[in-house]
Amino acid sequence: MTKLSVNINKIATLRNARGGNMPDLLKVATDIERFGGQGITIHPRPDERHIRYQDAFDLMKVVKTEYNIEGNPIPKFIDMVLQIQPTQVTLVPDAEDAITSNAGWDTVKHRHFLQEVIQEFKRNNIRCSIFVDPDVKMIEGAKATGTDRIELYTESFASGFAQDHIKCIEPYVAAAETAHKLGLGINAGHDLSLQNIAFFAQHIPNLLEVSIGHALICESIYLGLENVIQMYLQKLQVS
C-alpha cells in the first residue's frame, strides 16, 4: 500500500500567525501518527515563515513513523539534516522567495551538485529523494545522481485533473515506469487531494509514498483531522 506522509507546514503557519504555541506542532504530529498517518513531512525554508529550524530538531524527538525533511540543499539545510538524520531527505530546487515549490530539478544540468550532496547524505544512512517533473529525461538524469527515490511533482496533474484526467496522468505513468525500470523508488506530492488522490494512486505503478499537506489540512478544517487521515488511507488502499 502507498504510504501517506502528512506535511505539517500549514500547522506551523497557523501557529506563527499569532505567536506562542497554538496549535502545538509536536502534538499535531503525534496525533497524525495516532490517527494512522505513516509519516511526517516538513519543508523548512531559510526565512522560517512556517517550519522553523528548531521545529525540525524538536520533531526528531517525537516522530515515531517516517520523518521526511524537504528543502533546497543550501549549507544550513545540509548541516541540519546531517545532525537530525531523518528517515528521508527530499531535495527541492525552490528559490528562497518561492511561495511554494514550483518546479523539479534539472537533473542533467545539476547532476554533479546533486551527486555530491546525495553521497554525503547516504554516507550518513539517510534515504534520498529528489523532486522532479514527469519527464523521462529528468528521471534518467535522477538515476545518475545516485538518489534512492524520486518525488514526482504533481502540480500539473492536479491542475488538469478536472478537465482531462486521462491526459494529465499519462506523463506520470511514463515517468513512474521509467523510474521503476531504473530501480528508483517513487514518491509523489504537490496539490494532491481527496478529489484526485485515488485516481493518481490507481494509475501510478509502484507508488511508495505520497506527501500531502495543504489540501489535507484545508479538508481537515471541514471534516476533522482524524477523519481525513482515514479517508486518504482508504483511497490509497486500492493502489
Residues 75-86: tens digit of each pLDDT: 999 999 999 999
Cis peptide leading into residue 23 (ω within 30°):
yes
Q: Which 8-state DSSP code applies to residue 201?
A: H
- Give tens-digit pLDDT for 109-167: 999 999 999 999 999 999 999 999 999 999 999 999 999 999 999 999 999 999 999 99
Domain ranges of the chain: 3-236
pLDDT digits (tens, 9 = 90+) for 94-108: 866 554 556 899 999
What is the 8-class DSSP label of residue 177? H
Regarding the domain delimited by 3-236, which CATH topology (the fold level of the hierarchy) does it fall under? TIM Barrel (3.20.20)
The answer to whether the CB of 111 falls within 8 A of the CB of 145 is yes
Q: Write out the catalytic residue numbers.
A: 43, 70, 190
Q: Which residues pair with 132 in a beta bridge?
A: 152
Q: How far is CA 85 from CA 66, 96, 175, 200, in A?
A: 11, 23, 29, 30
Beta bridge partners of 69: 42, 89
d(CA 9, CA 201): 23
